[in-house]
């Protein structure tokens, strides 16, 4: 209820007033069946602009730190993210990450629309980085289509380190669904070569939409010294 209330009566009106948001390819999103929205990640506000422009509810995998803060601020933050249907994502690997992926699979099994950032973190410099294998594992195990998304301009309206976005222009490009034939890509699969091939194909589709320069390494958690968003 909080998710729908905020989207309809707070976020959408603010976007109309302060931002010029162009979106294309909405017809590629299924009306009521499960799918994965796989997007590049330039800014914190990516998780606001994209769901605000869609009629369907989007459940995002959000970093676990949002749910584990201490004190009043930490509890309020955790409550807020749970209220807007965010799933905590343990990015440390091992059992923690496996549990997070299980929660995401449960959401997909219920026919929901799941948003994920294959890079695993925000780009520190506006370039696109190598996709992690989690998105491939989700796609193959759930057997649902992956819809690539290119976010453009969100790093300009809210650069890393800026608390609130400032007025500006944002574009959202939604690509055609990617489907992975189970005869070629076993469902599920733990084969690193298969997972890498799937993850790379998703990343390439995102890259075509976003037009970013590609860096064939995993994105660092913190921006390197001297980098510019």
- Name the least confident of 62-66, 119-123, 128-132, 186-190: 62-66
Mean pLDDT of 181-186: 87
- Label residues 111-128 b or e (16+ Cβ within 10 Å = b): ebbbbbbbbbbbbbbbbb
Q: What are the φ and ψ backbone dihedral angles of 25, each rounded to 5 degrees?
A: 85, 15
133 to 46, 91, 192: CA distances (angstroms): 21, 12, 8
CATH number of 2-158+169-215: 3.40.1130.10
**What integer pLDDT is reported at residue 91 of this predicted model?**
63
Tell me the percentage of the chain whose pLDDT exceeds 70. 92
Q: How confident is the model at residue 224 (pLDDT cuts 50, 70, 90)?
A: very low
Q: Is the pLDDT of residue 81 over 90?
A: no
Measured distance CA(3)–CA(82) in Å, rounded: 10
pLDDT digits (tens, 9 = 90+) for 186-222: 887 889 999 999 999 999 999 999 999 999 999 997 6
Q: Is the pLDDT of residue 74 over 60?
A: yes
The DSSP symbol for 8 reads: I
**What integer pLDDT is reported at residue 27 of this predicted model?**
98
Mean pLDDT of 110-114: 95
**What integer pLDDT is reported at residue 53 of this predicted model?**
94
Bridging pattern class, strands 113-116 and 35-39: parallel
Q: What are the φ and ψ backbone dihedral angles of 174, each rounded to 5 degrees?
A: -110, 120
For the chain, what is the mean pLDDT? 89
**What integer pLDDT is reported at residue 93 of this predicted model?**
62
Q: Is the pLDDT of residue 152 over 80?
A: yes
Higher confidence at residue 80 or residue 40? 40
Measured distance CA(210)–CA(28) in Å, rounded: 16
**Torsion region of 126: left, alpha or beta (phi above 0 gives left; psi -120 to 50 gives alpha):** left
């Amino acid at each position: 209820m909080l998710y729908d209330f905020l989207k309809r009566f707070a976020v959408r009106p603010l976007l109309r007033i302060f931002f010029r948001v162009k979106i294309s390819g909405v017809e590629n999103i299924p009306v009521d069946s499960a799918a994965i929205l796989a997007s590049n990640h330039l800014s914190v506000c990516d998780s606001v602009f994209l769901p605000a422009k869609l009629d369907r509810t989007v459940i995002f995998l959000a970093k676990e730190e949002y749910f584990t803060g201490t004190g009043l601020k930490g509890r309020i933050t955790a409550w807020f993210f749970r209220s807007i249907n965010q799933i905590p994502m343990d990015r440390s690997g091992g059992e923690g990450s496996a549990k997070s992926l299980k929660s995401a699979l449960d959401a997909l099994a219920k026919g929901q629309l799941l948003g994920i950032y294959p890079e695993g973190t925000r780009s520190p410099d506006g370039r696109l980085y190598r996709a992690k294998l989690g998105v491939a594992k989700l796609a193959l195990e759930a057997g649902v289509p992956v819809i690539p998304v290119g976010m453009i301009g969100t790093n300009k309206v809210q650069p890393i380190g800026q608390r609130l976005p400032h007025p500006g222009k944002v574009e959202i490009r939604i690509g055609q669904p990617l489907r992975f034939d189970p005869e070629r890509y076993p469902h599920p699969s733990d084969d690193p070569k298969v997972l890498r091939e799937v993850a790379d194909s998703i990343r390439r589709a995102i890259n075509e939409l976003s037009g970013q320069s590609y860096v064939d390494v995993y994105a660092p958690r913190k921006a390197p010294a001297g980098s510019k968003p």
